[in-house]
Amino acid sequence: MNAPVKFETTLKDWETDQEVRWCPGCGDYAILKAVQRTLPQLGADPAKTVFISGIGCSSRFPYYMESYGFHTIHGRAPAVATGVKLANPELDIWLVTGDGDGLSIGGNHLMHVLRRNVNMQIMLFNNEIYGLTKGQASPTSREGTRSPSSPLGSVDHPAKPAAFALGAGARFVGRGFDVSKHLPDVLKAAHAHQGAAFIEIFQNCIVYNKDVFDDFAAPKGAEDRQLWLEDGKPMLFAGETKGIALDRDALELKVVDVADGDWEAAGVLVHDVTKRQIAHMLVDMPFGPFPMALGVLYDDARPTFESAVIAEREQASAGKEANLTKLLAKGQTWTVSGTAQDPV
Amino acid sequence: MANAAAATPQDGATQTATDAGLDSVVVRFAGDSGDGMQLTGGQFTLSTALAGNDLATFPDFPAEIRAPQGTLFGVSAFQINFGSRAIHTAGDAPDVLVAMNPAALKTNLAALKPGGLVIADTGAFTKRNLDKAKYDSNPLEDGSLAKFDLLAFDISEKTIEAVKPFGLGNKDALRSKNMWTLGLALWMFDRPREPIHDWLKAKFAKAPDIADANIAALDAGHAYGETAELSGPQGNVFRQLHVDPVESEPGLYRTVTGAEAVSLGLVAGAQLAELPMFFGGYPITPASAILHHLARLKEFGVTTFQAEDEIAAICAAIGASYAGQLGVTSSSGPGIALKTEAIGLGIMTELPLVIVNSQRGGPSTGLPTKTEQSDLYQAVYGRNGDAPMPVIAARSPSDAFEVAIEACRIAVEYMTPVMLLTDGYIANAAEPWKVPDPADFAPFPAEFLDTPNAKDADGGDTFLPYKRDAKGARPWVKPGTPGLLHRIGGIEKHETTGNIDYSPDNHQRMTDLRKSKVENIAVPDQQVALGDETGTLAVVGWGSTYGPIHQAVRRSIEKGLSVSHIHVRHIWPLPANLGELLKGFDHVLVPEMNTGQFKTVLRDQFLVDAQPLTKTSGQPFQIAELEAAIAKYFDGIDGNEGGQVNVNDQQLPSPEGGAK
């Protein structure tokens, strides 16, 4: 979107000379590769690409991308990125945050960057734990999570990142997980979206919250537990033997069996990425009774914040002269005699 | 203050005081916060400026937007000092007090000069309002104002009468009460009405009826002064008082508040740096006015961003600076506290940034609408880690223009955040301003690096994001520049490559480099504002105490005392000659509206025995208090302050006297 001219790069071109310092086996490695694989496909120009992050394991990401990068302070990356985008809308911004950075200390900024609809891709790596500070429960940790700060099990209810984003007014909500082969497709769709595109990426913290997403992310049985959504396609999973339908009386989603591939007869919904109410149901769909909804859950663009700011500035400036001398002498003035200075 | 009591002649005759040696008058308008006193004061100020008097104002209003009507804490006041000589303060004690209700009279009467004039609206001195102001009896009638002159009449009723033709209800009609009062004040001091007429017409362009009603009220107040024989209880007849225009440097003048001057200075600074400006702000008293001014200046390449909080406001400004604009943010103490971590990021990533702190009374929420200078430690020292940052302070509304330009210059030339200190007094107060010519300021165009700046081991071109120039500044590279890809962040970084580097030697060097960069910022030598370069006492100030210190020192010098006024703009780094300058005085006195913060800095930096004179009442210093403090260093006794007693054997009894 931000690169009118397709730029020729390879995955290698996006690697820096910095040693990657995540724990061996961390899901961040897979996400890094997925991003480095996706950018050449997008024709992205490294000079016009900026990775901006907060604080946490995920936020080391910019150091490993051969582009421009800004590793800011805890939770504030959306605010810094908003300033960058307003100052230079040509730049293609990727925000990297985590569940602690984005939803705890930076929850306020995340909410506002989404509702303002600043054009950027926001990748929230959700590992349901504070990794860099050695394993405390995070705002997305499930109830009962035992950690150094919650030795008896956490008692607070977890936040749902995708539901938060949609509630904050996001016009694009996608979901994927670190080792998924579909992750680049979600990234590409996010990049194609004009506006703030929110992507929740489940990420395995191998040290402090190992395999917590295995219920749906493990290769074995994945088909039955993952619902990959595609615009215009029926919401089918489990080898197309099951689908998601709308219980019109209860106004909620339900899982239905599909016999002989006749999903229409079973009432399976066709995914329409512009349907906001359905998106609300998809992000809230409890895993267990339902599969995990993945892919592009919602995508309905509207004008971006920076375009509105620029339009307003241009409109306000139209026909006005930026003459500082005149500005300084504005309002009611008087001349102390002895000069020939005319009021301007 | 001169003998402005002549405005209310005590000699019973008809002396008009026009030529009675009067050179300045202090008028205070006080009323309920809903009575429009700030507006009245503001318009009287404008009119006074147009009459060619020098002036200074002091708006003093409650923190509550609509405090309960008639209550003591809901009183809003506006003081103006104007005259035919240079005015530096809003004046100590008013000569005239306009009291729109009993609460306004009660809270302001103590300040009035003995023999001063009270103008009161009897229509507002109802039982109910007297109760609210905790008066047992009506002070207008019980003789308790005997030592003042009093003009009491029913302004409410006269206003309703004046606006009758416009068919307004009583409640709406009474809204014009302030204009009636203003009209009377304009007559009293021979000010022109036309500017107010024009202003009202412009303000109510969409409601000409309201404009006309207000104009009618204004004219009625003026006519009342002209036709009614105003006489006070002492039989004095009040006449119009003319204050001659001040002799000032020829040129074009306007009035300016500190908030306006800061805004204009920032616009000028961005132009001199040849940069678009990005201003990130969040509403806070008394800093919001800067956001409001800049939001209307989009044609000057200004982008204003009202962020979700103080932190986002500064972070967005840092982001804009990173992308190649001049990032600016502004707040007051509590908001600056929230920005502190981000200021550290700006220092660490070495990006230009201007942070304006319009100080108010603290700590915590403190006194939102009152003034204080208590954020100096916060500005100079208040960050985690060794985080040096230049700090400069404006001394007056008009000075704020130049200081804002200077802040932009330092930020851009040295790639650093800079804090500009003003305060609530400077932000809200107005003074005449000789309109500057932008061409008088030397441009400091920002330079962006777009080619490699170093050679690698093989002699090839390479780029080092933290390679410094002679001033110690690193290069500014806009993202989007091909070939200069790099990453920055708040983590300690390698001395030249900017890559993460925690090694002990590197952190030691980087700490030293950041420190020396700020310490070596070129700061003009400190000048003496008034008095000799050496002497008995140096009165050292900074910020908005300039006016009262200047006047107090001027009067002390006139009395023959060896006193000098030194006013410091560059708080950090301090001017290189300041230490030597201070050592040329026997004593150093530092008046501050805090508990002695700059005094501590001076002691620390120069090992001088700087003595504090502190005030934290939320009100500016009065000239008289400073004069008294200065006097103690000479023969004003009270501990003698270590000063010398000027021996005069004609006056002082001498122990040996009888043996002569």
Contact A76 B312 (CB under 8 A): yes
Contact A83 B318 (CB under 8 A): yes
Contact B438 A328 (CB under 8 A): yes
Contact A86 B49 (CB under 8 A): no
Residue of B nearest to A113 (CA): B308
Distance from CA of B555 to the nearest CA of A (A): 27
- Whether the per-residue pLDDT at A337 is higher than 80: the answer is no
Write down the pLDDT at residue B238: 59
Q: Give, in order, the Cα–Cα distances in Å from A306 to each of A39, A78, A115, B41, B304.
A: 23, 14, 13, 40, 12
Residues of A in contact with B318 (CB under 8 A): 72, 80, 83
Question: How far apart (Å, rounded) are the C-alpha atoms in residues B339 and B319?
Answer: 14
Cβ(B320)–Cβ(A87) below 8 Å = yes
Cβ(A204)–Cβ(A213) below 8 Å = yes
Distance from CA of A252 to the nearest CA of B (A): 34
**Residue B573 preceded by cis peptide, ω within 30:** yes
Question: How far apart (Å, rounded) are the C-alpha atoms in residues B520 and B513?
Answer: 10
Distance from CA of B435 to the nearest CA of A (A): 6
- Interface check B91 vs A, CB under 8 A: no
Contact B322 A84 (CB under 8 A): yes
CB proximity list for B646: less than 8 A, separation 6 or greater: B634, B635
Residues of A in contact with B487 (CB under 8 A): 16, 62-63, 65, 68-71
Cβ(B281)–Cβ(B329) below 8 Å = yes
Contact B487 A62 (CB under 8 A): yes
Question: How far apart (Å, rounded) are the C-alpha atoms in residues A104 and A106?
Answer: 6
Cβ(A94)–Cβ(A35) below 8 Å = yes
Contact B298 A312 (CB under 8 A): yes
Write down the pLDDT at residue A107: 98
Q: In chain B, positions 193-252, which contact chain A (CB-CB < 8 Å)?
A: 195, 248-252
What is the DSSP pairing of strand B277-281 with strand B326-331?
parallel
Q: In chain B, positions 321-360, which contact chain A (CB-CB < 8 Å)?
A: 321-325, 327, 341-342, 344-345, 349
The residue type at B46: L
- Whether the per-residue pLDDT at A223 is higher than 50: the answer is yes
- Interface check B311 vs A, CB under 8 A: yes
Q: Which residue has the higher pLDDT, B332 or A342?
A: B332
Q: pLDDT averaged over chain B?
A: 88
Distance from CA of A102 to the nearest CA of B (A): 14
Q: In chain B, positions 424-443, which contact chain A (CB-CB < 8 Å)?
A: 435-438
Query: How many CB pairs below 8 A link A and B?
Result: 206
The DSSP line for B372-427 is: --TTHHHHHH-SSSS----EEE--STTHHHHHHHHHHHHHHHHTSEEEEEEEHHHH
- Interface check B387 vs A, CB under 8 A: no
Distance from CA of B222 to the nearest CA of A (A): 22
Residues of B in contact with A71 (CB under 8 A): 487-491
Write down the pLDDT at residue A100: 97
Interface test with B, best of A88, A105, A117 (most B CBs within 10 A): A88
Question: How far apart (Å, rounded) are the C-alpha atoms in residues B239 and B226?
Answer: 9
Contact B299 A316 (CB under 8 A): yes
Largest CA distance in chain B: 98
CB proximity list for B323: less than 8 A, separation 6 or greater: A83, A84, A87, A88, A91, B478, B479
Strand partners, A51: A69, A94
Question: How far apart (Å, rounded) are the C-alpha atoms in residues B177 and B159?
Answer: 6
Closest residue to B251, CB basis, from A63, A336, A344: A336
The DSSP line for A187-226 is: HHHHHHSSSEEEEEEE--BTTTBTTTTHHHHSSTTHHHHE
Residues of B in contact with A16 (CB under 8 A): 487
Distance from CA of B268 to the nearest CA of A (A): 7
Distance from CA of A262 to the nearest CA of B (A): 50
Cβ(B336)–Cβ(B360) below 8 Å = no
Residue of B nearest to A69 (CA): B487
CA B656 to chain centre: 53
Residues of B in contact with A88 (CB under 8 A): 323-324, 478-480
Q: How many CB atoms lie within 10 A of CB A321?
A: 9
Tokens describing residue B627: 């004069």
Straight-line distance from the first to the last Cα atom of chain B, in angstroms, rounded to the nearest whole number: 44
CA A70 to chain centre: 17
Residues of B in contact with A335 (CB under 8 A): 250-253
Q: Taking the model in full, what pTM does it have?
A: 0.88
The residue type at B490: G
Distance from CA of B426 to the nearest CA of A (A): 18
Contact B308 A112 (CB under 8 A): yes
Closest residue to A70, CB basis, from B322, B325, B327: B322
- The 8-class DSSP code of residue B382 comes to -
Residues of chain B with pLDDT under 50: 1-21, 232-235, 644-660
Closest to B576 measured CA to CA, from B514, B526, B528: B526
Q: How many CB atoms lie within 10 A of CB A250?
A: 8
Residues of B in contact with A101 (CB under 8 A): none
Closest residue to A334, CB basis, from B253, B305, B323: B253
Write down the pLDDT at residue B551: 86
- Interface check B318 vs A, CB under 8 A: yes
Closest to B343 measured CA to CA, from B500, B506, B352: B352
Write down the pLDDT at residue B420: 98
φ and ψ of B221, to 5 deg: -60, -40
- Interface check B449 vs A, CB under 8 A: no
Closest residue to B489, CB basis, from A70, A333, A339: A70
Contact B315 A73 (CB under 8 A): yes
The residue type at A217: A
Sheet-wide strand order for A242-247: A236-237, A242-247, A252-257
- Interface check B446 vs A, CB under 8 A: no
Cβ(A119)–Cβ(A126) below 8 Å = no
Write down the pLDDT at residue A4: 60
